[in-house]
Structure 1
Amino acid sequence: MPRSFTIKVPCSSANIGPGFDVVGLALSIWLELRVKVDHSLSGVPQNCEISYEGEGAKDLPREADSNLITRTALYVLKCHDIRSFPATTLVHIVNPIPLGRGLGSSGAAVVAGVMLANAIGQLGLSKERMMDYCLMIERHPDNVTAAMMGGFVGSYLRELDPVDMERKEIPLSEVLPEPAGGVDTGLRPPEPPNGIGHHIKFGWAKEVKAIAIIPNFELSTANSRSVLPKMYSAKDMIFNLQRLAVLTTALTQSPPDADLIYQAMQDKVHQPYRKALIPGLTEILLSVTPKSHPGLLGICLSGAGPTILALATHNFETIASEILARFAKEGVECAWKVLEPAYNGAEYIEE
């Protein structure tokens, strides 16, 4: 009999002001995989057929060894001596997460791929163990941890011993070989060490929602990282550490303290250096405040950008309209959404 299931993975926003590469927040835009396993079908390459709707539908590959989701799944399966999808698998991808906008689209894809392999291969991996596979591919734990575990999370990668360090720095092209490498490339890729990453879930005040202002242009993480300095002053690092220490507790308190949160979301590590990549960024971050816009708690760049994330308790449309107007002065059109934390993270739903 055919078997059907759904995998849902939330988008995520990383950094949240001072928490560069440290904190992430899962939010309520969901990547969905609608999967059907049908043993009666045959002749499909890698036993996997992909269909797609939503963001990126025109451009993203449909081949199992090229699409990030199914390439990730094949990597995990090969780590368990399974060369291809074990039975003909129809994967319908529904993706409403904007690509290249700082909302964790690639992190969600990696998480979805690992969960797909776990389900299709009946591997019985826990979420914690699945995170190890995610972190072999996505080396920054903030987005993938939020997407997998849900809620507002802090995370880090542990220091590994010398043998594990050899595995830790494996390039993406070797873990997920390109199709041109041939069917034997990556035949038995190295399994990740246990417990690469560690995380903790913070609380979140029930009143707080996130307004995502999403500009109509993409900004790659690589380009956004390229403008960051290699070294930081102790003064700037202390500035961020002090605020992050306050922010992770301030966002748990009800009612939220707007003045405390707004100041705690200031940053000197990544946002100042990315202003040249995002028209109007500096003015937006400085001009929209709790005093000028009641209901606002804090404002920041979402991940690598260009999306702006404004945390607020009410007055969402007014806050969004102000940011939209400032982007419009720079000739940038935007969409906007009010989002809530996705507390449970990635989900597997048997049908």
Structure 2
Amino acid sequence: MESFVIRTPSSSANIGPGFDVIGLALSIYLELHVTIDRSKTTSDHPLNCRVTYEGQGEGSGDIDLDPQNNLITRVALYVLRCHDQRAFPAETHVHIKNPIPLGRGLGSSGAAVVAGAMLGKEVGGLTHLTDARLFDYCLMIERHPDNVGAALFGGFVGTYLKPLKPEDVARIEIPLSEVLPAPAGGVDTGERPPEPPHGIGHHIKFPWNNDIKAVAIIPDFVVPTHRAREVLPSAYTRPDVIFNLQRIALLPVALGQSPPDPELIHLAMQDKVHQPYRQVLIPGLNEIVESMSPNTDDGFLGVCLSGAGPTILALATRNFEGIAGKIIGTLRQYNKNKDLRCDWKVLEPAEGTKVTR
């Protein structure tokens, strides 16, 4: 009996002015507990794989345990089929433990994609696949490198996508149609999907001052990513673009300095590209951003929307409960539900995806 555990961190994307660029791996971990009975040559389970689940969304009906439909196992199948393996090894059991809130802006889908790619590598014995190469596979399915880059490599990362050649763009959906069922793809043709181009995305790790913690305030409602994208404009004014460029040049340096400079970090965390437009989806967001500063809130450094929201991420060195309480109070004040449930956690930068045997 072979067994191993894949551990992938949650993540926050769009840190401050870093829309679609900067990501931060956070210390909430998706875990896959995998067993394979190598003594068996056949299985009664679809694609030789049994999927079980515990954690966020358990029992809600939102988690599909069919390996043909579950995002984690679909991504694993993509990696396997690119290497002429049509299914999992016989009698594979994948038990998913997921404490990452779903649809809250903490990278639950990015973690699933990264964990799935690593699952394909491990069950298929594809030891030649480096993390950099797995990044290419992840980016063929999840085109936001800030989340998957943070989840795969860990830490505080800057990411970018290489422009794809026309022939590569034309084939982006081919792996999905081969591996992922409708509506994401089509019927399995039995053919080998084309492997991703090399070097689709790149990343760099920025330094992070360990005195800085991330306080995640997680309201009890969902902001679908597609809805968060719809509210963004198709074009931006030059002053707004320059505003973000100025701050994104400062932020990675500011968060790595010791001791941290609260005023510099607060200024460098400001954004005019996505947060002003998404405040219609997260009532109170603008008031939180405008009202909080190092001068008014002890230990406070800066605040931003985590990913597409609704989670709010505050950076601080102390007074975590006080900062969380003020943000929760503001969210409730501007929400129709004055008793809006909000969880909060003090998180730290996390290591990237690891496999333990």
**Band the TM-score falls in, shorter-chain normalisation:** over 0.9
CA positional deviation for 1:285: 1.2
CA positional deviation for 1:339: 0.1
5+ residue gaps in structure 1? none
Give the aligned partner of residue 340 of structure 1: 348
Give the aligned partner of residue 5 of structure 2: 6
Give the aligned partner of residue 296 of structure 2: 292
- Output the CA distance in 2 between the equivalents of 1:172 and 1:333: 40
- Output the CA distance in 1 between the equivalents of 2:312 and 2:193: 38
Give the aligned partner of residue 149 of structure 1: 153
- Output the CA distance in 2 between the equivalents of 1:140 and 1:190: 21
1:224-263 equivalences under 5 Å are 224-263=228-267
CA positional deviation for 1:175: 5.4
- Output the CA distance in 2 between the equivalents of 1:327 and 1:252: 30
Give the aligned partner of residue 101 of structure 1: 104
Query: In the comparison of the two structures, how many residue pairs are matched?
Result: 347
Give the aligned partner of residue 178 of structure 1: 181
1:1-351 equivalences under 5 Å are 2-40=1-39, 42-58=43-59, 59=61, 60-124=63-127, 125-167=129-171, 169-170=172-173, 173-174=176-177, 176-178=179-181, 184-185=188-189, 187-329=191-333, 330=335, 331=337, 332-342=340-350, 344-350=351-357
Which amino acid is 2:273 matched to? Answer: V
CA positional deviation for 1:288: 1.8
Which amino acid is 1:245 matched to? Answer: A
Query: Identity rate of aligned residues, in percent?
Result: 61
Could you tell me whether the CA contact under 8 Å between 2:284 and 2:331 is conserved in 1? yes
CA positional deviation for 1:284: 1.1
Could you tell me whether the CA contact under 8 Å between 2:218 and 2:344 is conserved in 1? yes
Change (3 A) 1:278 1:172: farther
CA positional deviation for 1:187: 3.1
CA positional deviation for 1:179: 6.5
CA positional deviation for 1:119: 0.2
CA positional deviation for 1:142: 0.5
Alpha-carbon RMSD: 1.5
Q: Which stretch shifts more, 304-313 or 51-60?
A: 51-60
Could you tell me whether the CA contact under 8 Å between 2:142 and 2:148 is conserved in 1? yes
Could you tell me whether the CA contact under 8 Å between 1:174 and 1:186 is conserved in 2? no
Change (3 A) 1:179 1:64: farther
Normalised to the residue count of structure 1, the TM-score between the two structures is: 0.96
Q: Which stretch shifts more, 152-161 or 117-126?
A: 152-161
Which amino acid is 1:111 matched to? Answer: V
Could you tell me whether the CA contact under 8 Å between 2:48 and 2:89 is conserved in 1? yes
What is the SS of the residue equivalent to 1:132?
A: helix
Normalised to the residue count of structure 2, the TM-score between the two structures is: 0.94
What is the SS of the residue equivalent to 1:277?
A: coil
- Output the CA distance in 2 between the equivalents of 1:252 and 1:346: 22
Q: Which stretch shifts more, 30-39 or 321-330?
A: 321-330
Which amino acid is 1:53 matched to? Answer: E
- Output the CA distance in 1 between the equivalents of 2:320 and 2:145: 30
5+ residue gaps in structure 2? none
Could you report, residue by residue, the CA deviation over 1:248-267 in whole angstroms, capped at 9, with x for unpaired residues?
10000011000000011000
Could you report, residue by residue, the CA deviation over 1:134-163 in whole angstroms, capped at 9, with x for unpaired residues?
000001100000000000000001123332
- Output the CA distance in 1 between the equivalents of 2:189 and 2:201: 27
CA positional deviation for 1:87: 2.6
CA positional deviation for 1:183: 6.0
What is the SS of the residue equivalent to 2:323?
A: helix
Change (3 A) 1:175 1:315: farther
CA positional deviation for 1:129: 0.4
